[in-house]
Homo-oligomer: A and B are copies of this chain.
Amino acid sequence: MVRLAPIAAGLPATVPFVGPETLERQAGRPFAARLGANENGFGPSPRAVAAMQAAAGEVWKYGDPASHDLTQALAAHHGVRADNIIVGEGIDGLLGLLVRLTVAPGDVVVTSDGAYPTFNFHVTGFGGSLDKVPYRHDAEDPQALLDRARQTGAGLVYLANPDNPMGSWHDGAVIEAMLDQLPEGTLLVLDEAYAEFASASAIPAIAADDPRVIRMRTFSKAYGMAGARVGYAIGHPDLIAAFDRVRNHFGMNRISQIGALAALQDQDWLAQVVARVDGARQRIAAIGAENQLTALPSATNFVALDTHRDGAFARRLVDALASEGVFIRMPGAAPLNRCIRISCAPDPELDILAEALPRALSTLQGFFFT
């Protein structure tokens, strides 16, 4: 009855993403601890909050379609030119635009099996063909990605550094070396959503004008503004300018632009948050260790805890924690899915985790021993 275009008609009809609010409605009660979406419970800068509150009454105005002030500030912050930067509706939105710009139906895109599902959603959604390589030692495998890109003639190859969902990372030098081996005509999509949590050595030194790579950054993680939908890409001016061909020009929220600018200008707050996140990582690792779950090293605001069992066990554990009022998630592909993924948060929420985890594990005893 509804006439869909061929690509859309071939897409799955199921809803691929389920938010914690949906789980809460199904359970009939709110989560006591929200540790599943790598949100940043340490929150945004108070200056960002104040700026957004002050801007609320002016929301009758559209946001500046050029996101001029934020773009200028980001350029200064990164030591690049404004034409190296495009601001968009979160990395998710920018990834969708990038795929639309660069992937024709049938084109191959290379990523890792278990890497960011939303990127895959966009590739499939525009008719691209996903080709996945396995993780290696719980990290994305640059050499395998390069080899597969070369074999397939991929237009895009995706790598997150630091990685989601494992929290692992490569030295910046590894990424720099990867660029030098990138096949002609392949663009590296370097998702740096978690960059602010990593040590400086994990951030590659790449010229903003380098045409081989586009880097994605966000205000959703370290800046604590996931609900504001502000991300940005850094890249060659020709590629950055191409976003203007397809983006929703008046799509950037006015309050969010103003809030992100204020957040960027409060680097002291950012530094405090990064330190608190580091403390939370250590505490999550300790809570895991008390329960025979092993924390993987993390350069992000979450910790993957190895259950030393399989994906079915981890799924049961995620569900059992949900029953205890704790929202977490887990990787979607083997062998990563032997782990659960817990977002860093202030102590009150980690207290709840510490109490709930042994109870949740105890409910799995029967399963554990079969």
Contacts and interface: CB of A to CB of B under 8 A. Distances in A.
Given A211-B1, A238-B1, A250-B92, A59 B245 contact: no
Contact of A229 (B15, B90, B251): B251
Contacts of A4: 101-102, 242
Contacts of A253: 227-229, 253, 256
A65 B16 CA distance: 11
Interface stretch (A49-57, A74-82, A347-355): A49-57
A41 B60 contact: yes
B211 A101 contact: no
A68 interface: yes
B56 A39 contact: no
Interface stretch (A18-26, A169-177, A283-291): A18-26
Contacts of A187: 2-3
Interface of A is mostly: loop
Contacts of A1: 211, 236, 238
B43 A6 contact: no
Given A5-B101, A8-B101, A248-B93, A59 B68 contact: no
21 contacts: A1-B211, A3-B155, A3-B187, A6-B104, A7-B104, A8-B100, A13-B241, A13-B242, A16-B244, A21-B64, A22-B64, A34-B61, A42-B60, A44-B59, A52-B56, A52-B255, A56-B56, A89-B248, A90-B250, A118-B250, A253-B253
B3 A96 contact: no
Top 8 nearest A-B pairs (CB, nearest first) are A227-B254, A17-B249, A21-B64, A5-B104, A11-B245, A60-B224, A19-B65, A59-B227
A63 interface: yes
A12 interface: yes
Contacts of A40: 60
Contacts of A12: 245
A139 interface: no
**Max chain B C-beta neighbours (<10 A), residue from A1, A14, A61:** A61
A65 B254 CA distance: 20
B34 A227 contact: no
A239 interface: yes
Given A41-B60, A52-B53, A63-B227, 10 more contacts: A1-B238, A2-B242, A6-B104, A8-B246, A16-B249, A21-B65, A39-B62, A58-B227, A62-B220, A90-B248
Contacts of A3: 102, 155, 185, 187
A108 to B, nearest CB: 13
Contacts of A296: none
A226 interface: yes
Interface residues of A, number: 85
B17 A60 contact: no
A299 interface: no
A107 B5 contact: yes
A85 B66 CA distance: 30
Interface string A25-52: 1000000001001011111100001001
A67 to B, nearest CB: 9
A166 interface: no
A93 B56 contact: no
